[in-house]
Amino acid sequence: MKFLGNKATVMPLAVVTAMLAFGVPQADAQGLFERLFGGGIRHAPRGDFPPPPSRQQPRYKPNADAPAVSRSGGGGAQISSPSYYTYKSDPLVRVDFSALASTSESSESAMPQDAAFQPSSATDAAFREAIAGLGDYELYAEKDIAKALIDYYSANPNFIWVTETSANSRAQDAVRVLGEAASYGLTPGDYTLEVPAAGASTSDTDARLKELVRFEMALSARVLRYVHDAQSGRVDPNRITGYYDFPAKPLDMEGVLKTLTRTQQARTYLESRHPQNVEYQALRVELESLQASAEDEIVIDPKLLLKPGEISPELPKLLTKIARNLDDEMGGTYGEILARLATSEVYDPELVPVIKAVQKKAGMKGDGVIGPRTVAALVGTSKVDKIQKVKVALEELRWLPSDLGSPRVFINQPAFTASYIENGEEKLKTRAVIGKTTNQTSFFYDQVEQVDFHPYWGVPQSILVNEMLPRLRRDPGYLDRAGYEVVNARGKRIPSSSVNWGAYGAKIPYGVRQLPSEANALGELKILFPNKHAIYMHDTPQKSFFQRDMRALSHGCVRLQDPRGMAAAVLGTSVDYIAEKLKHGHSTEKVARTIPVYVAYFTAWPDMSGKVEYFHDVYDRDTRLQQALDSTEAVRSPAS
């Protein structure tokens, strides 16, 4: 962060671009089946990379606001996908200052101070006297913040933000930072408060002390909220959906207040609580730029779906946007058609070649169908939608480690891409296929551990139950003929035809794996980062999927167009080495370095030059996150 006097300034795009370019310092039978055939046990992370989520089930299991998604299959029990929840923010609590007052009275002379906290006797006495002014004060805060206030001030009975009879410079700096929360995509009203007027009359000492001590407590509460939100985000993502899986970021709130007591650099400290990566800074630059820009006067429905012969009032607006951006070659070919049909609401067949040509120029498949991705690619996203996407992205980045690590693998689901990044350089970027809307890919981070060559595919229980079991009930020997192996709970291979599949529902005491072959669902290799979601990167025999623009087509794992390139990158070797390994059948190689992998979901994300790109919200998760933020806002709005 760059500073100019007391005012924070957003990094210029050129600075962010340079940082991105050169890098900155950046962290049952089924169980037996996994141990036998791969997956392994995830070791503790090495180095400074923050530990990924545990494999235990999420601690938060609220009732879903909609039925869990069930995958298709025959009759009987089904294994459902994770659910989305109705987000309910925890209510604020009234801070119980009576506990602080009683502690002060009972231990005024006996309680030892914090070793590093050495107030003067005069200010200490003034603070103890001022506590009486909190008797009827109604200050509401989050439960952990309320507790931290009482615990801290009981052990350290003195002002942080007040010197003599006025708010001090530390307080002034903190209040300014809180007032600039909008530049981080936060809501200033969640943190701001009135500062007691300087030079106020001190004729009524008791009234002034009451005003100052209440300001002291309110500012500490707002600062703690700000630090929490900057570090971890305003919502708990795991309470939005079972598709989110993030470890908690511990925050020593008393330690925050102690640090602020000892420093005059309140601004520097508070701003350092935000993620310290160039992606976060690039998004802030984009937010500032968007807020200062004018809105495009032509706004087109982002959910427009139009086929030849159909009618829509949105079509003339789309044609106007296309006409404005025609180059000489396109203008010479299609200018006359666009001019003649510019006001048509009917998608005339004459316009189909125009749409196809513009689609192909934008890197899309030229199918002539005008859908959300075509609108987004040709028209762009409206200013309002861009601002919303950037604010959502800033919130989501707070769920990840502040230092994203180098090297790292970054998968952005809405972009349908996977990248290998090292020393600030995107050394590999490949198209990816992610989960269907009914088999969504989760949002989490982990650590790459190994590459399997000519892998076996351990069929997930969900696919076995929902998709294979109905056929096995009719044809028990199907797996034997289709190149699969079946093992029982003791790890012994048995014929599929010997199992009475009709006796089982959602719990099948057998493991099934597909043997390595050209038809294997994982293709020629897979890249593992063992996690409870059973998600990994892999090759696929369905190469045609990568030619599609919308690539949410898998059962949840991430398929790569260039799996050999990604395998070579994470192993620190060459594609030729990978090709040689593949000549020798099934094998496994461990990744010797610490490489975090982010299976991420950002509808706004900066490229390596710092330019923010926008993507369709394929799973409608931005909407869910906004509902959670609205819930938090509703709880905070009546706060004192």
In a domain, 17, yes or no: no
Tell me the pLDDT band of 72, cut-offs 50, 70 and 90.
very low
> Residue 68: how many CA atoms within 13 Å on its side-chain side?
14
- The DSSP call for residue 464 is I
pLDDT at 200: 57
Closest CA to 243 of 424, 43, 69: 69
pLDDT at 59: 43
pLDDT at 58: 42
126 and 105 fall within a common domain? yes
Place of tokens 């300001």: 215
Place of tokens 């949002």: 443
Averaged over 105-126, what is the pLDDT? 52
What ranges make up the beta strands (E) of 423-576? 425-435, 443-447, 450-453, 457-458, 484-487, 493-494, 511-514, 525-528, 537-538, 552-554, 558-560
Q: In this structure, what CATH number is given to the domain that contains residue 596? A: 2.40.440.10
Q: Which residues contact 49 (CB under 8 A, 6 or more apart)?
A: 27, 401, 405, 447, 594, 596
Q: Is residue 577's pLDDT more than 80?
A: yes
120 and 163 fall within a common domain? yes
pLDDT at 488: 92
Q: Which residues contact 132 (CB under 8 A, 6 or more apart)?
A: 101, 210
Q: Is residue 69's pLDDT more than 80?
A: no
Tell me the pLDDT band of 46, cut-offs 50, 70 and 90.
very low
* Bridge partners of residue 511, in order along the sequence: 487
Domains held by the chain: number: 4
pTM comes to 0.81
Tell me the pLDDT band of 62, cut-offs 50, 70 and 90.
very low
In a domain, 618, yes or no: no
Backbone angles phi, psi at 74, to 5 degrees: -80, -165
Most confidently predicted of 77-91, 390-404, 510-524: 390-404
Q: Is residue 545's pLDDT more than 80?
A: yes
Place of tokens 């043997």: 515
Residue 564, SS3 per DSSP: helix
pLDDT at 105: 57
Pick from 50-54, 473-477, 571-575: least confident? 50-54
270 and 320 fall within a common domain? no
Widest pairwise Cα distance in the chain: 95
Pick 193 or 7 by higher pLDDT. Answer: 193
Pick from 34-43, 315-324, 437-446: least confident? 34-43
pLDDT at 638: 64
270 and 321 fall within a common domain? no
Q: Is residue 6's pLDDT more than 80?
A: no
In a domain, 73, yes or no: no
Residue 211, SS3 per DSSP: helix
Closest CA to 193 of 234, 165, 221: 221
In a domain, 594, yes or no: yes
pLDDT tens digits, 248-282:
999 999 999 999 999 999 999 999 999 999 999 99
At 530, list the tokens: 């063992």
> Residue 32: how many CA atoms within 13 Å on its side-chain side?
15
Q: Which residues contact 280 (CB under 8 A, 6 or more apart)?
A: 274, 394, 397
270 and 184 fall within a common domain? yes
pLDDT tens digits, 154-181:
999 999 999 988 999 999 999 999 999 9
Element (H, E) at 421: strand 417-422
521 and 602 fall within a common domain? yes
Q: Is residue 484's pLDDT more than 60?
A: yes
Pick from 193-202, 514-523, 626-635: least confident? 193-202
153 and 32 fall within a common domain? no
pLDDT at 48: 42
Across the beta sheet with 493-494, the strand order is 457-458, 511-514, 484-487, 493-494
Place of tokens 């952005």: 412
CA angle 132, 135, 138 (to 5 degrees): 135
In a domain, 628, yes or no: no
pLDDT at 329: 78
pLDDT tens digits, 366-377:
889 999 888 877
Closest CA to 598 of 524, 531, 551: 531
pLDDT at 86: 95
In a domain, 29, yes or no: yes
Backbone angles phi, psi at 597, to 5 degrees: -125, 130
439 and 477 fall within a common domain? no
546 and 604 fall within a common domain? yes
Tell me the pLDDT band of 347, cut-offs 50, 70 and 90.
very high
pLDDT at 103: 60
Mean pLDDT across the chain: 85
421 and 495 fall within a common domain? no
Q: What share of the chain is helix, strand, coil (3-state, %, to 5)?
A: 40, 15, 45
In a domain, 231, yes or no: yes
Pick 293 or 51 by higher pLDDT. Answer: 293
Tell me the pLDDT band of 302, cut-offs 50, 70 and 90.
confident
pLDDT at 364: 79
Q: Is residue 290's pLDDT more than 50?
A: yes
Q: Determine how many CB atoms are found less than 10 A away from the CB of residue 313.
A: 8
Pick 254 or 58 by higher pLDDT. Answer: 254
Between CA 72 and CA 88 the distance in angstroms is 31
Q: Is residue 305's pLDDT more than 80?
A: yes
Pick from 11-15, 84-88, 252-256, 416-420: least confident? 11-15
231 and 261 fall within a common domain? yes
HEC sequence for 528-550: ECCCCCCCCEECCCCHHHHHCCC
Averaged over 214-238, what is the pLDDT? 98
Q: Are 511 and 29 in contact (CB under 8 A)?
A: yes
Tell me the pLDDT band of 312, cut-offs 50, 70 and 90.
very high
41 and 150 fall within a common domain? no
Domain extent, residue 537, equals 25-50+402-456+516-610
Between CA 488 and CA 481 the distance in angstroms is 18
- The DSSP call for residue 45 is P
At 208, list the tokens: 């002034």
585 backbone φψ class: left, alpha, beta (φ>0; ψ -120 to 50) = left
pLDDT at 416: 97
Between CA 395 and CA 601 the distance in angstroms is 12
Helix spans in 380-426 (H): 383-397
Q: Which residues contact 340 (CB under 8 A, 6 or more apart)?
A: none
Between CA 24 and CA 350 the distance in angstroms is 52
Q: Is residue 73's pLDDT more than 50?
A: no
- Please give the single-letter amino acid code of residue 354: V
Tell me the pLDDT band of 41, cut-offs 50, 70 and 90.
very low
Averaged over 114-135, what is the pLDDT? 68
HEC sequence for 148-162: HHHHHHHHCCCCCCE
